[in-house]
Each structure stands twice: as structure tokens, then as C-alpha cells.
Amino acid sequence: MRQKAFLGRVSDIDIRLLRVFRAVAACGGVTAAELELNIGRSTISRHLSDLELRLAVKLCDRGPGGFSLTPEGEQVLEASTRLMSAINSFQSDIDKVHQRLSGHLSFALFDKTITNPRAHLPQAIALFDEIAPAVSIEVHAVAVNVIENGVLTGQFDLAIVPTHRQSSSLRYCPLYKEQMYLYCGEGHTLFDRAAGRISRHDIQQSKYAGIGFHSPNMTNSHSFKLKRNADVYDEEALAALVLSGRYIGFLPDHYARSFEERGIMRRLRPDFFKYQSEHAAIVRLTPKPSRLVLEFLDCLRRAHNA
């Protein structure tokens, strides 16, 4: 029979133990969490054991076989995300009473954002730091397919994503556009062929590498009738396949430019195989975004409208 949990109500001790557990889960193990938490492995293990005792559930398997969350651990991690989000929201509300901005802001973006000259995120961060220097910022670079869910669950306060199908639970604030072209790499059969001798049929018969989740990339690859032969989940992986000389794929013009300048990548029929993606900041509608989040959102708007 499962032992009855000691936890009756959440205390400061419980919150500290949950923060340790979240850090271990995020780092993928006790050893990896040492630097993040700045405490020793034995202390981290003791904190995890204390939390398991208070909750009366086994949270994770840890040992020579590696680290993994149990099903109960997954549930506790998800619940702790909501709890930490509520605590941050409460802190923000109290700060609002005192007319000051402090606390913690977590936001997410996908790879290859900063190389886009149309993306003014650094300017937005500078604007935000001027009005909220006491706020600690946590930035995550993660795959687009997990960002929206992270905002919905409260893992991230805000994120920047390419918009495609919009969720009714999120608020979208357009920021900038990204120009996409189709590329092949050196060694591909189309690489040295004269532009006027490359037909749409030639391109449609080539092996195509595309993003493996619903996105503007997937939507446009279908509309261009490209044959998918490889799935990738970020643009770094896509570029590697294109540069192999065996695949073609869509990349942002700002990211592909350095490869073009080195003569190892070229655009294919840019008169036809191209599209633009709209990028927006997203926040969840419920619960209502905190003042901290709204201020950062305003800084993003100001930076992109300057």
C-alpha cells in the first residue's frame, strides 16, 4: 500500500525541493545539475529523497542505468510548472502594487533568430533592461514544435514563433517576416547547371529535406509538390543535409547567405520556389499575462516598429 503523503500544504521547504527537482529534470540527471544548483550530488540526492518522502511517490530512477522520470514524476513536474508560474505571477502582482518591476521572466525562441536582420530581439532586451533592471531573464532556444505548448503550460511566459495555424488559447503579436528560398549544396546535380536549364520538374524530382512538424515549411513544401525524403527538426540539421549535396531544402536567406558567399550553396529557381513566414510574439490568454510579460511584449513591439 502506498504510504500516505506528508505534504498537507505547500511550504517554503516544498518549493525549494521542487526547484531542485525541476533543475535535475531539466539537466537530465543529478550529476548534470550540480553546476546549475551549485550544490553537491549527495545533497541533491537527499533533497530528491526528501521530496519523494513528502509526496509519497517515486519521482525518478537514478543510478548506473541513467536518469529518467517515472510517470508520477512527469505529473509532478507538470504540476510544479503551473505552481512556479503562479508564484511568478503573484510576485509580479505584488511588484505592481509597489509600482516596480522585479521577478523572473522566461521566454523562448527557435534557432537562427538572431541572424535575421529583421529580428530586433537584442534591442528589445536592451529596452526592457532599462525599465526593469532587477528582473532576471531566462532564455530558451528550443524547437518550434514544443514552444507553443511550453507557453500554454506556463513553462515559458512568452515566445517568438513563425505563425502557421493559430491557437485560440494564445495571443499573437506580429513582429517581422522571414524570407525563405530553396537551396542545394555543392555536389548536387543541379548545383552547376545554368539557371535557365533548371525546370520545376527537375527540382520536384530531387530529394527534399523538410521540417518534420506542422509549420510554414511543411505547408509550402506540399504546395510546391516537393518529395520529402528526410525529416529534420531544426534549420542546422536541414543545412547539414543541403550541404551534403544530396538534398534540397528551404532555409532563411540570412542564414544561407554565408554558405552562398563561400560558394557551397545556391538558390534554386528563386523566382518561384520562395515564401515568407510571419513571426510573432505569443502569450497565453488565460491566466492573464502579468505586468512583467506585458512590458516585455511592449518592448518587442517598440523595437520592431522603430
Nearest by Cα to 169 from 83, 288, 52: 288
What's the pLDDT score for residue 5? 54
What's the pLDDT score for residue 113? 86
What's the pLDDT score for residue 296? 96
What's the pLDDT score for residue 1? 37
The 10s digit of each residue's pLDDT in 7-39 is: 557 788 888 999 999 999 989 898 888 888 889
The CA–CA distances, whole Å, from 265 to 38, 185, 198 equal 44, 4, 16
What's the pLDDT score for residue 254? 95
Listed as ranges, residues in the chain with pLDDT below 70 are 1-8, 95-100, 306
All domains in the chain, ordered by first residue: 1-100 (1.10.10.10), 101-175+279-305 (3.40.190.10), 177-277 (3.40.190.290)
Nearest by Cα to 278 from 181, 160, 167, 169: 160
